[in-house]
Structure 1
Amino acid sequence: MKRVKLLPLLTMTALLAAGTLLFSACSDENEVPEMITGEANYALSLAYQGTEGNYTYYTVLFEDVMSGSLSAVGQGIDHLGYYTYNQVDDRIYATGGFELTDIIALEKNTDGELVETGGNSSFGNSLQDVVEAEDGMLLAIEMASSSDVITLHRINAETVTAESSVSTAVSEITDQSGPSYSGMVQSGDFLFVSFYISDPTTYTTAHTDVAQVAVFSYPGLQFVKVIEDDRTGPIGGFGTKSGLIKDETGNVYALSHTNPANGFSQFTKDPAILRINSGDSEFDSNYIFDFNTVTDSLTTAHLVYLGNNKVFVEMNTAKRSEQSAWADGPLKPAVLDLSAKTIDYISGVPEHSGLGRKLASTSLYDGQHIYMVVPEDVNSYVYQIDPVNYTATKGAEVQANFTAGFFKF
């Protein structure tokens, strides 16, 4: 375990054009930034683009996210590259980076300082995602277009090391090239992995007529079968990793959107949410949440389960026929009710662009409010959302290119 890295003081140059903030390092050995300690329980992973176009992420502790300005000037633990962050209990697990294949854990020590552990386990490819299993283990997946196998890992959450790993040939799951990961949940005796088919060279999606989810045994991680449903299209999409969510009773919900804004070159089926009932390993033929019944042909690529059948979403306010490719927007937050099959939009949050990232990592739900960073023209701001009254309050300005993670200890 090592203590928090103290970065050199940074000279910040605000570039209003394109809404970017570039930070250049400037060392001054006579000045030491003050360590954030005590009751700084919020953590944001802030991304800054360097002069060569590469991003570095700094995970920083904050005491207050609803006033003032938030930045990584003089503080934070840094990770170079395109990392994904997932919080499980009081740890944040970082995976990804520039061809890095390890997993790193961030946590607060007894002095209230942010420290880093792990990084001792190396995998064949960068891990696509990390989720918590019902037995407290972490589950991670390797699913790369350059590999002919999909590998699942059970990782000890404390030691951050793999205790078991099982590989399955891609040919057992699909006869198409380019299966792309879109979500993973474990429920009872099964592990469910959603995917869609994307050409590894052109990223075109020629297969959009059926929803598919791979089923594995748990805890054995052995491949069982692929389940399909032709009432809607492929589950999930590029980067968002929210194809599957699970409620408190073990029911699994699968989202199909086939948004051009989230990696699809075509769409042939209506967007919908399907369900796999707790204990089952097939789609429930009696359940479908068809988005066309509650919206004017709008969709969402982002889901976060809140509890009591309520789901926080970012709805794309453009119809699929009007969406810009890879745009992940324009977005508007809302709450879905999976039982009543209704949608309520959040007032007070401006329409905004997304990041094509996992909403469960870039937003924070503390049991009462949802916190997320919303870009507005040049600047970005924290918004505190009340998912019961469907209202929002504007908070601190965030000085970064974008926010890669939002957490609370």
Structure 2
Amino acid sequence: MFSIKKARQLALPILSLCASVAFTSCDSESDNPTPVEANPFVVSLAVAGSDGVFTYYTVPFEDVMSGTLSAVGQGVEQPGYYEFTQFDNTIYSIGGLDNKDVVGISQGEDGQLQRIGNVSFESGLADLIEVDANTLLGLELSSGSDMVKFHTIDANAVTVTNTRQRPVSDITNLRVPAYAGMRISGNHLFLSYYISDPATFNTAYTDKAQVAVYTYPGLEFVKVIEDERTGPIGGFNTKSGLIKDEKGDIYALSHSNPANGYSQTTRDGGILRIRSGEAAFDQNYFFDVEEVTGGKNIAHLKYLGNGKALAEINTAANTDQVRWSDGPLRTAIVDLYNKTVTYIDGIPEHPGHGRRLSALHNESFVYMAIQHNDKRNFVYKIDLQNNTATKGAEVNANFVAGFFRL
């Protein structure tokens, strides 16, 4: 097994390449001083200390397009390693490595950010998805366990209400499956994964896509569906292997990018589809991403609506990528229905952070933070009507781990 030190090097956004940012800490128990209604944007800022350990500050802001975004003296403070996601009006921080907890962050009656609940898990959650307005589903999938653990979580109290365990051997008898994505459609839950050696992270099995199918809500194992038109679904820590549209159709992203953890590539990258109500790959649909992009692959994908998704596309072919680099990237809009890729004007080529894509979709705009080659981070506002971007505030942090609006 990798040492904790090595695991941190892989899990923290490219992590160790980012320089520490000079920073004045805030009191972790204090409330942010300004009501959220006056500051509708909420940004989770990651700041590295002199020891290389990150602290995350979730902070409300009135404006993200001018000045500097800093967490000095405010925000919800969480030292360790966290990822962030939002469902309805609550932000959820998901702890990893030494932190195995999930905490909700929402607007209190006084208009200020407050913590909700605090539930811990033996191995930490691989991911957390929304079932409905009151229910979340968490997944534990760890190299230290021979069980796949599904946790039903009360979204309001952030407490576990039920746990179901299923053997990993249902999915594979090869090494440990690495998590790539999870979605519920109709009465099925789809779990995408790839096979990664837990000691070296090498990926010796890249000849086909695989998705495990379970019943929902019973969470009984049904089968594994496979497709040899492309390789494994998802990549290391991207969490975007599966996305779902308004019709309930599931789209599965494959790229086998060395920049996202793969040690080899044996199939061209592409996108598969599972139609709503079905539990098999649609043989009439294949989005050949490499053909459209000239040999490039999508590393990160975030669904926006009406068949469109925000994408981060690696500008280097797989044979030229530096392993674990998560870059260099260009931002684009992908049309899943028409199988097109449109690059965004105004955003420079940039590195990724080796983790879940952090971007806010708000009406006709997307807000995201981009790191420049000099390691400075800036907010960019993408206009989805004309596929252009405007540079906004500078971000006084190593990277942005979450971008939200309450």
- TM-score for both structures, normalised by structure 2: 0.92
Runs (4 or more) in structure 1 with deviation over 6 Å come to none
* Map of 1:203 onto structure 2: 201
Aligned ranges for residues 255-266 of structure 1 at < 5 Å?
A: 255-266=253-264
CA deviation after TM superposition for structure 1 residue 34, in Å? 7.5
Q: State the match for 1:22 in structure 2.
A: 22
Map 1:223-302 to 2 at 5 A: 223-302=221-300
- In the TM superposition, residue 275 of structure 1 has moved relative to its aligned partner by 0.2
How far the C-alpha of 1:273 sits from its partner, in A, is 0.2
In 2, Cα distance between the equivalents of 1:356 and 1:67? 27
Letter in 2 for 1:214: A
Per-residue CA deviations over 1:87-113 (Å, capped at 9, x if unaligned) read 000000111144333221000112220
Q: CA–CA distance in 2 between the matches of 1:34 and 1:55?
A: 20
User: Residues 391 and 98 from structure 1, CA distance in 2 versus in 1: closer, same or farther, beyond 3 angstroms?
Assistant: same
1:288 partner amino acid? F
Q: CA offset at residue 157 of structure 1?
A: 0.8
Which residue is 1:3 aligned to?
A: none
Q: How does 1:186-201 map to 2 (within 5 A)?
A: 186-201=184-199
Residue in structure 2 matching 1:405, options 384, 399, 402 = 402
Aligned to 2:11: none
Residue aligned with 1:22, SS: coil
Distance change >3 Å, CA 291–CA 34, structure 1 → 2: closer
Aligned pair partner of 2:377 in 373, 376, 380: 380
Are 1:366 and 2:366 counterparts? Answer: no
Structure 1 counterpart of 2:183, one-letter code:
V
Distance in 1 separating the partners of 2:133 and 2:61: 31
Q: Does 1:102 pair with 2:101? A: yes
Separation in structure 2 between the aligned mates of residue 48 and residue 70 of structure 1, nearest angstrom = 12
Q: Mark the runs of 5 or more structure 2 residues left unpaired by the alignment.
A: 1-16
Instruction: Show structure 1 runs of 5+ residues with no match.
Output: 1-16
Matched, 1:40 2:31: no
How many residues of Structure 1 are paired with residues of Structure 2 in the alignment? 386
1:154 equivalent in structure 2: 152
Matches within 5 A, 1:13-162: 19-23=19-23, 25=25, 35-37=33-35, 38-119=37-118, 121-134=119-132, 136-162=134-160
Of 245-254 and 384-393, more deviation after overlay is shown by 384-393
Decide whether the 8 Å contact of 1:40 with 1:112 is kept in 2: no
* 1:353 to partner: Cα distance: 0.3
TM-score between the two structures when normalised by the length of structure 1:
0.91
Q: Residues of 1 paired with 2:233 and 2:132: CA distance?
A: 23
| Alpha carbons 1:166, 1:222 under 8 Å: kept | no
Q: Could you tell me which amino acid in structure 2 is paired with residue 178 of structure 1?
A: V
CA shift digits 1:179-219 (9 cap, x unpaired): 10010111110111100011000000000001001111111
- How far apart are residue 403 of structure 1 and its match? 0.8
Cα deviation, 1:61-107, whole Å, max 9, x if unaligned, reads 10100010001111111111111111000000111144333221000
Among candidates 385, 389, 392, match of residue 389 of structure 2:
392
1:342 aligns with 2:345: no
Taking the aligned partners of 1:257 and 1:386, their CA distance within structure 2 comes to 27
Q: Distance in 1 between matches of 2:64 and 2:23?
A: 21
Cα pair distance change 1:26/1:272, threshold 3 Å: closer
CA distance in 2, matches of 1:137, 1:183: 18
Can you list the C-alpha shifts for 1:148-180, whole angstroms capped at 9, x where unaligned? 111011111112112221111111110111210
| C-alpha separation in 2, matches of 1:321 and 1:34 | 47
- Give the letter aligned to residue 81 of structure 2: Y
